[in-house]
Amino acid sequence: MNPVTIAYHFFRKIQQKYNLKEEDKLTDTENEKVNQLISFFQEIVSSHNLVIETEYTLDLSEDEDISESENDNIAEGEDDNASESENDFEAQQHSEKYKYSYEQMQKIVDKSERMSFNTLKHQYRKLKNPTEVSRIRKYIAKGGTDYQKYELIKDFVWKKFQLARSKYLPVKDEDLKKWALQKSQENKLESFTASHDWIRWFKINRKISSRKITKVISSKSEIDIDEIIKQGRAFVKVASKELMNFDRSII
């Protein structure tokens, strides 16, 4: 097998396929690709069996533009999981009304036990009447508003996704759904189902897209006979010396 012949004909086919002329100067990115090709080429030439595996994983998209049509599709598809969308909208309305985080709501409930509403209202000016404090107390008893729980789910899934990709582990839609349902169960958000539309919206919002990953698995075919003989002789030499330390009757 002649590596130069292979490289020559590979180069000719590349020229024919892309119909481009080569440039004398390389960019940093092009130089990196050249080095990767050399490593890959060496793997091919020195192997008698080469298996190329392809799989897809979710990854951060390099394209900053988000398709408006995709957003429209999500809006149209919300009927697939109407109850989930309605609960999300209702919870968001409450959240917009109060503008309080879960921690702040806890403080409001705690302080309401030891101070009058007027004093409490002076510290939290968005409170309108004691009924709102009672409603907040119910939210705390449930572990927060539904909207806050939705936000916790999104944050949890995002962190799990980042951790998996930082370890170069493949991530699929099924993984996003599994993580989302795991967190919803922890937060006792029974209405949440991690629907197809929710997954799609999450990926668009976080600029996540599908990416193809190619793995090359090779087995070497070239056996260096001289090296094997050399190692064998070295072993015999060492073994002979070691055997001198033992009685022949036990060898």
Residue-wise pLDDT tens digits, 6-19: 888 888 888 888 88
Q: Using the predicted structure, report yes or no on whether residue 225 has a pLDDT greater than 50.
A: yes
Residue-wise pLDDT tens digits, 177-219: 999 999 999 988 888 999 999 999 999 999 999 888 777 776 6
Structure tokens at 155: 């944050």
Determine the angle formed by the axes of helices 146-166 and 82-98, rounding to 10 degrees: 110
Contact 42, 81 (CB under 8 A): no
> What DSSP character marks residue 114?
T
pLDDT at 199: 95
Residue-wise pLDDT tens digits, 50-69: 777 788 899 988 654 444 44
pLDDT at 75: 38
pLDDT at 208: 95
Burial classification of residue 107, based on how many CB atoms lie within 10 Å of its CB (0-12 exposed, 13-18 middle, 19 or more buried): middle
- As a whole number of Å, the end-to-end CA separation of the chain is 46
* 19-28, 90-99, 209-218: the lowest-pLDDT one: 90-99
Q: Using the predicted structure, report yes or no on whether residue 34 has a pLDDT greater than 90.
A: no
pTM exceeds cut of 0.85: no
How far, in Å, CA of 115 to CA of 92, rounded? 29
Question: What integer best gives the mean pLDDT of the chain?
Answer: 78
Domain ranges of the chain: 1-45, 68-213
